[in-house]
Structure 1
Amino acid sequence: MPRRSTEDGTYGALASLTRAERFYWEVLRDLLEAGLPFMVGGGYAVKFYTDARRPTKDLDIFTTPAAFPTLRSCLQQRYSVSANEGWLGKVRHGRHFVDIIFGSSNGIVPVQEAWFQHTREAQILCHRVPVISPTELIWSKAFIQKRNRHDGSDIVNLILKQRDVIDWQRLISYMDQHWEVLLCHLLTFRWIYPSERDAVPSWLLDDLLSRLGQQRQAPLPVPKLCRGRLFSSVDYRNATEKWGFVHPEAESNDE
């Protein structure tokens, strides 16, 4: 995907940036000038799509696992870059940092090259940059449900503001195995914004409720399963360590 350095900010706009924002601006500049594949996600993407006042502690950059080493090499020329969690790297400058995300902590949401086909362009921190699409942004946030962080409000507000842009067929293809998680987010949206319930297509709700009806007729899984660790490895530890439940991934590894 061709990339151009499109710094649109005036000197006045740059001067108004905080120290952290200036660091983010420099990272975006370096990636744009190097022509590397990336998308802006996280809080900056949510703000672009919803215009919500949403504080953000960092800048989230998405790229593919294959492209990550190249981005890391580029940014290591100026900054300290660590990558020890298997799905993201951190670019640090003092106490500020940028996350370079190429997967997810639960291993379910790898960033794919196809995501770049659906990006939007936006001016962020005085640069014209590609932004992850609302569909993939929802997918990237669907499993962030921990005691100290829950991105459900972002998903609800994205549905509210981007209902006509979200590719529901693509979203359900991502979440097919985890359709119950999608249904939970959609029901939460309907409860929070009852006057906007028609934002969710009827065919999608019918499909998910039909799956629920069929599931209710099926026998219970054996052995006892707990998928909570796909949300948080900490918050559901008791289920697998004390209460006799099996994490699905562990079960498949035993076969």
Structure 2
Amino acid sequence: MGAGTRPGEDLAIRERSQGELDARATALRALARSGVPFLVAGAYAFFEYTGIFRDTKDLDLFLREQDLDAAFRVLEDAGFRTEITDSGWIGKAWQGEWFVDLIFSSGNGVAVVDDLWFTHARPGRVMDVEVLLAPPEEMIWSKSFVLERERYDGADVNHLLHACGAGMDWDRLLRRFDRYWEVLFSHLLLFQFAYPGARSIVPDRVIEELVGRTLENLRSGDHPVAMCRGSLMSRVQYVHDVERLGLHDGRRWDEAERGPAGRAGHGGAAGADAAGGADVSPGGGG
């Protein structure tokens, strides 16, 4: 880095040891040479899109689950120790005390890394390695569900919208959120609050579409099942609602509905069973 360091990257040099930075660069070079498909996301991609650099404890690499074993083998040959941290979405590669995250889904199982992440990836250069960056649309999709008390990615979503919204594929973003469209709508409203002078970045037709869905929900009234879908946004903040108030766990329903394929629209009757046997449709009256 040194002489070629861009504004903001010097923070990483000051805040992180050379050993840690070398471990990240080693992982990038090894995977780039191997041909195993991967994308850089997290703080590094966020900087490329927004110019905002944050100190980060790791390097986030996104890949399809089917490519995880191959990536592990490459990194093991490069001197890393690998492990599956959570079989639903993440593995890690360690070099001493330093680690790289290998992510193939969001923690709630919604934002699965699929071929479209790579189709719409953008070229970039991270730590002097030519890489592909996760698309801003998919970064927004994934980050929009990170709403924990100790970590809230709403500001990241706002900054990505502000920096990339004018050229964003809004139709793809709407399709990505699918039946979780209320989550997207909530972030777009917060964006308009944060940047009142840039409201036009979000196309009128997108807001009109989501307002129309909201009005349809109002006309439909309350959903017949007392369910809490907050568990899709936070692992712990809605435990009280499920365990103490007796609300049906919306995340459990959603996982059953997605089924083995990991996509919305799979699971059919199993999804209804998980929510108490009723016909649950999150998009209406939810």
The whole-number CA distance in structure 2 between the counterparts of 1:119 and 1:105 is 21
> How many residues end up aligned between the 2 structures?
245
The whole-number CA distance in structure 2 between the counterparts of 1:183 and 1:211 is 10
In the TM superposition, residue 105 of structure 1 has moved relative to its aligned partner by 1.2
Gaps of 5+ in 2: 6-12, 254-270, 278-286
Instruction: Find the residue that maps to 2:228 and give its secondary structure.
Output: coil
Matching residue's letter, 2:155: S
- What's 1:68 paired with? 68
The whole-number CA distance in structure 2 between the counterparts of 1:18 and 1:168 is 40
- What's 1:163 paired with? 165
Matching residue's letter, 1:48: E
Q: Which of residues 167, 175, 189 in structure 1 aligns to 2:177?
A: 175
Q: Which of residues 115, 118, 121 in structure 1 aligns to 2:117?
A: 115
In the TM superposition, residue 222 of structure 1 has moved relative to its aligned partner by 2.2
1:27-66 → structure 2 map (5 Å cutoff): 27-66=27-66
The whole-number CA distance in structure 1 between the counterparts of 2:24 and 2:214 is 44
Instruction: Find the residue that maps to 2:237 and give its secondary structure.
Output: coil
- What's 2:148 paired with? 146
CA-to-aligned-CA distance 1:118-143 (integer Å, 9 cap, x gap): 11111111111110111111112110
In the TM superposition, residue 163 of structure 1 has moved relative to its aligned partner by 1.5
1:97-246 → structure 2 map (5 Å cutoff): 97-246=99-248
In the TM superposition, residue 12 of structure 1 has moved relative to its aligned partner by 8.2
Coordinate RMSD, CA, aligned: 1.7
The whole-number CA distance in structure 1 between the counterparts of 2:196 and 2:55 is 26
CA-to-aligned-CA distance 1:198-220 (integer Å, 9 cap, x gap): 11100000000011011001031
The whole-number CA distance in structure 1 between the counterparts of 2:246 and 2:18 is 50
Instruction: Find the residue that maps to 2:85 and give its secondary structure.
Output: coil
CA-to-aligned-CA distance 1:62-96 (integer Å, 9 cap, x gap): 00011111111211221111103121101112322
The whole-number CA distance in structure 2 between the counterparts of 1:105 and 1:93 is 24
The whole-number CA distance in structure 1 between the counterparts of 2:49 and 2:252 is 38
**Alignment TM-score, normalising by the size of structure 1:** 0.91
Is 39-48 or 79-88 further displaced after alignment? Answer: 79-88
Is 197-206 or 69-78 further displaced after alignment? Answer: 69-78
- What's 2:24 paired with? 24
The whole-number CA distance in structure 2 between the counterparts of 1:166 and 1:85 is 31
- What's 1:6 paired with? none
The whole-number CA distance in structure 1 between the counterparts of 2:170 and 2:212 is 17
Does the Cα contact within 8 Å between 2:46 and 2:53 map onto a contact in 1? no
Instruction: Find the residue that maps to 2:248 and give its secondary structure.
Output: coil
In the TM superposition, residue 11 of structure 1 has moved relative to its aligned partner by 9.4
In the TM superposition, residue 182 of structure 1 has moved relative to its aligned partner by 0.4
Is 89-98 or 181-190 further displaced after alignment? Answer: 89-98
Instruction: Find the residue that maps to 2:167 and give its secondary structure.
Output: coil
Gaps of 5+ in 1: 1-8
The whole-number CA distance in structure 2 between the counterparts of 1:124 and 1:221 is 47
The whole-number CA distance in structure 2 between the counterparts of 1:46 and 1:108 is 21
CA-to-aligned-CA distance 1:99-152 (integer Å, 9 cap, x gap): 100011111111001211111111111111110111111112110110110111
In the TM superposition, residue 249 of structure 1 has moved relative to its aligned partner by 4.4
Residues 197 and 12 of structure 1, relative CA distance in 2, 3 Å threshold: closer
Does the Cα contact within 8 Å between 2:44 and 2:53 map onto a contact in 1? no
Q: Which has the higher contact order (CA 8 A, sep 6+)?
A: 1
In the TM superposition, residue 53 of structure 1 has moved relative to its aligned partner by 3.0
In the TM superposition, residue 178 of structure 1 has moved relative to its aligned partner by 0.6
Report percent identity of matched pairs. 33
